[in-house]
Amino acid sequence: MANGLEARASVRWFYPAMGILIALTVYAGFAPTFFARPAAIGPLSPLLFVHGIVFSLWVLLFIAQTSLMASGRARMHFALGAAGAALAAVVTILGLIVSIDALRRGAAPIPGAPAHVFFSVPLFDTLLFAGFVTLGLLNRRRPEVHKRFMYLSAIAMTPPAFGRLILLWDSQALFAFMPHTIWGLSLLFVLAGAAFDLATRRAVHPVYLWGGLAIALSSPLRFMIASTALWADATAQLAG
């Protein structure tokens, strides 16, 4: 009996635990430039500051929502749902605005990547986030599907953090050798969910299979699209 209760508790608390790991990843990646930004490098622009706050709120909301369900407070979870949908919309809009702002400023943190090519990185990440959230909300009456899509939306927050961690480690060689490392690292969170499914359900839920495939394919696809003349022309017009 005790073992059964422990097993059910592990199922309930898996998503809050993964949310905390995602939050730690985000904090580690953005600590040097946001959370623990030294005064010597100057303040962030208001746009980037607001983006960072809203970005962080989504990760914290994921932890809060999964914790509410794990502790049996479903009514409060549902009550926060509308606020979560609104916050997701703000995250998406700000993600697009910040991406366009970086393009217009010529920002390209990836070594050797022109600004119009780098623009595909935050743009695709934002679209992935929006897609996962939308599918999660459309399936809110199907808890097993809903929670996995919302988990994927939190995972979609991790590539920028992993990218910054890699840049801190090696700003040249690692990107030259493994340009898709940041999405591969993000897939570790998907693999954790799939492994947990195998351990508790004896089968991997299709959401992880299709969601993981979307993340994996988005890595080469974005750079293939960004290398075309059509993309260069379109981003040149967008940049003004």
pLDDT in tens, 122-135: 999 999 999 999 99
Q: How many domains is the chain built from?
A: 1
**How many CB atoms neighbour CB 7 within 10 A?**
12
Q: So what's the pLDDT on residue 107? A: 80
Residue 48's domain spans which residues? 2-239
Please give the backbone phi and psi of residue 130, each rounded to the nearest 5 degrees, phi first. Answer: -60, -40
Q: What pTM did the predictor assign?
A: 0.90
Please give the backbone phi and psi of residue 108, each rounded to the nearest 5 degrees, phi first. Answer: -155, 85
Q: So what's the pLDDT on residue 175? A: 53
pLDDT digits (tens, 9 = 90+) for 72-117: 898 999 999 999 999 999 999 999 999 999 999 988 776 667 889 8
Task: Please name the residue ranges forming H helices in 71-180.
Answer: 74-79, 81-105, 115-118, 120-138, 143-155, 158-169, 173-177
pLDDT digits (tens, 9 = 90+) for 186-240: 999 999 999 999 999 899 999 999 999 999 999 889 989 999 999 999 999 998 7
